[in-house]
Amino acid sequence: MTDKPFPTTRQAFLEALAESRTLLWDFINGLRPEQLSAKRDAGGWSILDHLAHLGDWEKGITALLQKQPRWETMGLDPAFVKSADGFDAINEVLRGFHKDQTADQVLAELRDIQDAFDTVIAHLDPADFDKPYIHFDPTYPKPEDTRPILARMVGNTAGHYLEHLPWMKALV
């Protein structure tokens, strides 16, 4: 997807999602279990941390698409999210949630989250992909943000995988 245009249609998104998931799982499946947690980057993240992080954000967008509370579903207090000094602070809190999980637990949870996302998007009306965030969360504080939810879907799934893959590959 990095050398392809940003998906702006449901079909293009589904293709990008399938392609990026294949790249992600091919990478994961090519690793020995100890490689998932043995090495850490400058920020202290292991491959396992990256995978849990990807799952957390996909779980959040899945909840949002079902008009459920996104941040609470991710285990976060909305007041904290609103006051957090950027995504790094949020991501560190999320990372702490998985510090005691095994590789098998993180991978099983990621599969379950991906399956749940697939189920939700399979039942969305095609027109929903073009609706803004506020359609899914009426409390969204930026009603002027009319970008299609599809952009957030890409950013929390296909695009997110491709963003993290180089960082994970650098740890092998």
How far apart CA 76 and CA 12 sit, in angstroms, is: 31
pLDDT digits (tens, 9 = 90+) for 137-166: 998 888 899 999 999 999 999 999 999 999
pLDDT at position 143: 86
Which domains does the chain show, CATH number per domain? 15-169 (1.20.120.450)
* Contacts for 98 with CB less than 8 Å, ≥ 6 apart: 48, 49, 52, 106
Can you tell me the mean pLDDT for 114-140? 96
Helix extents (H) in 8-141: 10-29, 47-65, 70-73, 78-83, 87-97, 103-123, 133-136
Say yes or no to pLDDT of 6 above 90: no
Distance CA 87, CA 101 (A): 22
- The answer, as to whether pTM is greater than 0.85, is yes
Q: Is 100 helix (H, G, I), strand (E, B) or coil?
A: coil
> How far from 105 is each of 13, 47, 110, CA to CA, in Å?
28, 14, 9
Specify the higher pLDDT residue, 71 or 1.
Answer: 71
How much is the pLDDT for 2? 52
Query: In Å, how far from its chain's centre is CA 119?
Result: 15
What b/e sequence results for 21-47 when a residue is b if at least 16 CB atoms lie within 10 Å of its CB, and e otherwise?
A: eeebeebbeeeeeebbbeeeeeeebbb
More confident residue, 4 or 85: 85
pLDDT tens profile 39-96: 999 999 999 999 999 999 999 999 999 999 999 999 999 999 999 988 999 999 999 9
pLDDT at residue 103 is higher than 90: yes
* Average pLDDT over all residues of the chain: 94
38 pLDDT above the threshold of 70? yes
User: Which among 136, 141, 158, 109 has a CA at the least distance from the CA of 6?
Assistant: 158
